[in-house]
Amino acid sequence: MSELKNIVNKILENGKGILAADESTGTMTKRFDGVGVPSTPENRLLFRETLFCSSEMKNCIGGVILYDETIKQTSSKKNKIPELIEGMGSCAGIKVDTGAKSLAGSPNEKITEGLDGLRDRLKEYFKLGAKFTKWRGVYNISKDFPSKLSIHSNAHALARYSALVQECNMVPIVEPEVLMDGDHSAKECFNKTSEVIKKCFEELILHKVDLKGVILKPNMILAGNKSKEKISNEEVAKLTMDCLKSSVPSEVPGIAFLSGGQSELEATENLNLINKLNKTGFIMSYSYGRALQQGALKFWSKNIKDIEGTQKVFNHRAKMNTLAAQGKWSKEIESR
Ligand code: 5MM
């Protein structure tokens, strides 16, 4: 078990966070379409390799979550991608769920699939160099949602996934994402997120998952993106801390937030405020997809040959988030 704890520490030590580069081909195609770049395997690799070779990887990015396509690709310098990531002092991870599908019994909600054959797939990813994995459950907030059925079934899947991952000597990232879509209040997000997280840990414990070898990847507590309610970043940080303090068992070593559609700046500022308030034993860091990549992707799409320029944009974002993970970020440093 100390082996798993060491992996967690390596990923999250000294303000390091996680680069979520595990967009499925469909999602990556949407992102590339948005900036007018053809979504080919070559272009997806080129963009991702550019990020993985950035100099701040060494100081800021303790883990990279890959998608099945990427973990099997070879870089332009003929390195296997997990080797390239290790060479940058970081750990390679892999998304192992196969996506969220309509939930039988509540077809307007989602259940994440991918348990069948998972034990064998994990062995293969381990051989390819993965040290950790990720599985995302996804929940909508509305008058009736998330339903008990969705909360229960996704927690059950996350627990079965985590137990199999630890059996294979890798660290499971447990990602229950309560989406910000909708007109709900921050209080509703707080209540639903607390219920979802508590259920996840209840199931993880039932499935004998060692909580010391787990990273939780939750959403922050926000008002819905169509809500009239506007709450300050300070309130976001306070609600988020209160929610996690009361729903995450103290054995869990690390929490790495998803950005969930926040702007790059918002995600950094909120993480910084959370860490200023953090008096718990949890490491509070980031596992951002969009909030680490947006600026770099926009720059790259207009200057596809400018590797250095793209890396400069990414390096800055990674640095800012690593400062925020230590409560040391400020607007002044951001614009320096
Ligand atoms: C990077 O995107 C991840 C997977 O997307 P799909 O399976 O839908 O293609 C996603 O799970 C991501 O890791 C988290 O949502 C965090 O990303 P954000 O952009 O919310 O920080």
pTM: 0.98
User: What value does the mean pLDDT of the chain take?
Assistant: 98
- CA nearest 260: which of 186, 158, 179? 179
pLDDT, tens digit, for every residue of 243-281? 999 999 999 999 999 999 999 999 999 999 999 999 999
- Whole-number Å distance between alpha carbons of 299 and 333: 21
Residue with CA closest to ligand 1 atom 5: 23
- CA nearest 241: which of 222, 225, 220? 220
- Whole-number Å distance between alpha carbons of 32 and 25: 10
pLDDT, tens digit, for every residue of 159-217? 999 999 999 999 999 999 999 999 999 999 999 999 999 999 999 999 999 999 999 99
CATH second-level architecture of 2-334? Alpha-Beta Barrel (3.20)
Residue 44 alpha carbon to ligand 1 centre in Å: 15
Omega into 107 within 30° of 0, i.e. cis? Answer: no
Query: Hey, how many other C-beta atoms are within 10 angstroms of the C-beta on 135?
Result: 26
Residue 259 alpha carbon to ligand 1 centre in Å: 9
Mean pLDDT of 53-61: 98
Query: 170: buried, middle or exposed (CB in 10 Å: 19+, 13-18, 0-12)?
Result: buried
Instruction: State which of 95, 266, 287 you would mutate to test the pocket of ligand 1, scoring each by most atoms of that ligand within 8 A of its C-beta.
Output: 95
3-state secondary structure 85-120: HHHCCCEEEEECCCCEEEECCEEEEEEECCCCCHHH
Phi/psi-derived region of residue 174, left when phi > 0, alpha when psi is between -120 and 50, beta in every other case: beta
- Whole-number Å distance between alpha carbons of 55 and 57: 5
Q: Which two tokens stand for residue 320?
A: 């800012």
**Dmax (CA) of the chain:** 53
Residue 2's pLDDT is what? 84
Residue 70 alpha carbon to ligand 1 centre in Å: 15
124 has pLDDT over 60: yes
What amino acid positions are annotated as catalytic residues? Answer: 217
Q: Which two tokens stand for residue 264?
A: 């790059």
1 has pLDDT over 90: no
Residues 6+ apart with CB under 8 A from 204: 155, 158, 159, 162, 174, 211, 214
* Ligand 1-lining residues (CB < 6 angstroms): 20, 22-24, 27, 136, 177, 258-260, 288-291
Ligand 1 atom nearest to CA at 27: 9
Residue 98's pLDDT is what? 98
